[in-house]
Amino acid sequence: MTNPPRIERQPTSLGLGAWQLAWLAAAVFVVSAGYGALMPLLPAWLAPLMAADGQAEVARHVGLLSGLYAAGVLVGAPLWGLVSDRWGRGRILVIGLVGYVTSLLPLLWPDWIGLAGIYASRGATGFFVAAVVPVVPALVAEHTPQDQRARRFAWLGAMSLLGFLFGPGLNAAAAQMSTTLASVGAGTFDPTNLVIVTSAALGALMMLGLATTLPRVAPAAVDDNIQPQSGDRRRTMALWGLNGAVMFVLSGFELGIVLQGQQHPTLSSREISLMFAECSLVMLGVNALLFFTGLLERAAGRGVMAAGLVLAIAGLAMLAQHRSDGWMYIGVSLTAAGTGLVLPTISYLAAGASRRRRLGATMGGLAAAAGFGQTLGSAAAGWLFGAVAQFSFAWLALPLLATLGTLIVRPAWWSTESQPPHSPRVSPAPLPK
């Protein structure tokens, strides 16, 4: 019997070095920061281009540009994931970052490219960012022993959140840089252009770093057939659906926080900003918890997701019934903690549920499901909060309740452990990577 030893064997050349992992995490950080930095600047940046159209028209274009970026991710993620399975992940990452940098630079000349060019640029940016979002976790999963995978996925999630938090800080740094350059006689520079140049420069730096440090050869295939194909696709699709549902709720929840300022006059824009910061910091703290404790390696993923769903449902229920700002802060924390538990767990389980030769397609589908859920959630929540106001938070909990039910009644959908058809039991050897 040679199969059991072969299942247990771990190739020693698969591991990513510290610098390789750092460059991959930095790439996720940079594309997240670029989005978070540019989006708040769009209204003021577009206003001079359409001064005769009024603020309502500017707001409409900002919304459409945001939706086009999400559509680029939605279309690009599964496509780049599939291509990376055939051409190699490192090559696709570099192509994605080249496209990311190239798509940003035309924004330096908005008068020349016009409104159509701005739309094309934002859509292209989303499309090329989609070559980074699914391929980085696929590459990490492919080159990481299973007993280290959970911590590394938590680390990637934390870097993405840090990027979103860093984005507004990049705006402040660009404004200060513009003032400093003017004061020393170096000329007048638009802060928005400085943000674009800085984002592009960081993207170019990531491109060079990844091109020189990533593994040149993919790890050799290790018995993909030891994981039966039966149920593999079903588990993957279940995780895609869960990811889309959670992002649907998360985007609606975030939009609901913004709209609370209209429904509660005592809630200032400063407090709304604090709630957004609280949401990001709580999710970041949960990722840190997963990283330092190795929780996903110690507990069943289904149990971790169930706990996260319960927390998020409790937070949404509290938001639907809150009578004071203090209770709203608690509801935001619970919802953020719950979704912060579920999302990295989904990525971790998806990496384990897929065979290596389909990792790119699996992670691409996961990113596409997230983009679809986010787009649909924003649109649905806008209508929902206009119809039933604060009680919309309770309606947003329904998809999470339905998902919690499937965790209970369909446990096989969320398990990544598979038994070979000729063996009654296989020791907890890692799945092929």
Q: What is the pLDDT of residues 329-366, one digit of tens each?
A: 899 999 999 999 998 888 888 877 666 667 788 888 88
Backbone angles phi, psi at 323, to 5 degrees: -120, 0
pLDDT at residue 313 is higher than 90: yes
Higher-pLDDT residue of 369 and 1 is 369
Number of domains the chain is built from: 2
- Residue 323 vs residue 367, higher pLDDT: 367
Which residue has better confidence, 111 or 262? 111
Q: Is the pLDDT of residue 216 over 50?
A: yes
Amino acid 34: pLDDT: 87
Q: Could you tell me if residue 1 is inside a domain? A: no
One domain for residues 410 and 322: yes
State mean pLDDT over 112-118.
86
Residue 80 shares a structural domain with residue 106: yes
Report the chain's mean pLDDT, rounded to a whole number: 78
Kindly tell me if the per-residue pLDDT of 247 is higher than 50: yes
Average pLDDT on 232-256 reads 84
Q: Which long-range contacts (CB under 8 A, 24 or more apart) does 253-260 make?
A: 253/316, 253/319, 253/335, 253/339, 253/381, 253/393, 253/396, 254/279, 255/377, 255/378, 255/381, 255/382, 255/385, 256/319, 256/381, 256/385, 256/392, 256/393, 256/396, 257/332, 259/385, 260/328, 260/390
* 205 and 271 inside one domain: no
Same domain, 252 and 161: no
Looking at the structure, tell me whether residues 350 and 268 fall in a common domain: yes
Note the pLDDT of residue 276.
76
Report, as an integer, the average pLDDT of 209-228.
61
Residue 427 inside a domain? The answer is: no
Residue, of 322 and 193, whose pLDDT is higher: 193
Q: Are residues 311 and 202 in the same domain?
A: no
Q: List Cα–Cα distances, 121 to 49, 106, 239, in angstroms.
A: 16, 7, 31
Give pLDDT tens digits for 35-68: 878 877 777 777 777 765 666 677 677 777 877 8
Do 204 and 240 lie in one domain? The reply is: no
pLDDT digits (tens, 9 = 90+) for 99-111: 999 999 998 888 8
The predicted model gives 246-253 an average pLDDT of: 88
Binned at pLDDT 50, 70 and 90, residue 415 comes out as low
Closest CA to 305 of 261, 274, 266, 350: 350
Domain of 39, CATH number, reads 1.20.1250.20
Assigned domain for 221 exists: no
409 occurs within a structural domain: yes
Q: Are residues 241 and 98 in the same domain?
A: no
The confidence score (pLDDT) of residue 385 equals 75
The pLDDT value recorded for residue 97 is 94
Residue 132 has pLDDT above 60, yes or no: yes
Residues 189, 242: one domain? no
- When pLDDT is cut at 50, 70 and 90, the band that residue 231 belongs to is low
| Domain presence at residue 222 | no
Lowest mean pLDDT among 109-118, 259-268, 417-426: 417-426
The predicted structure's pLDDT at residue 339: 92
- Asked, for residue 353, whether it belongs to a domain, the answer is yes
Judged by average pLDDT, the poorest of 2-16, 176-190, 273-287, 390-404 is 2-16
Same domain, 238 and 198: no
> Could you list the residue range(s) of the whole structural domain that residue 344 is in?
229-417
Which residue, 193, 216, 239, sits at the end of a domain? 216
Lowest-pLDDT range, 82-91, 192-201, 418-427?
Answer: 418-427
Residue 57 phi, psi dihedral angles, 5° rounding: -70, -40
Q: Which of 320, 329, 347 is nearest to 281 (CA)?
A: 329
- Report pLDDT for 3: 47
pLDDT of the residue at 326: 80
> In 182-191, which positions are buried (b, 16+ CB within 10 angstroms) versus exposed (e)?
eeeeeeebeb
pLDDT in tens, 153-205: 888 888 888 887 787 777 778 778 878 877 777 767 777 888 889 999 999 99
Give the amino acid at 22: A
Indicate if 198 and 328 belong to the same structural domain: no
pLDDT of residue 353: 65
Residue 381 and residue 237 share a domain: yes
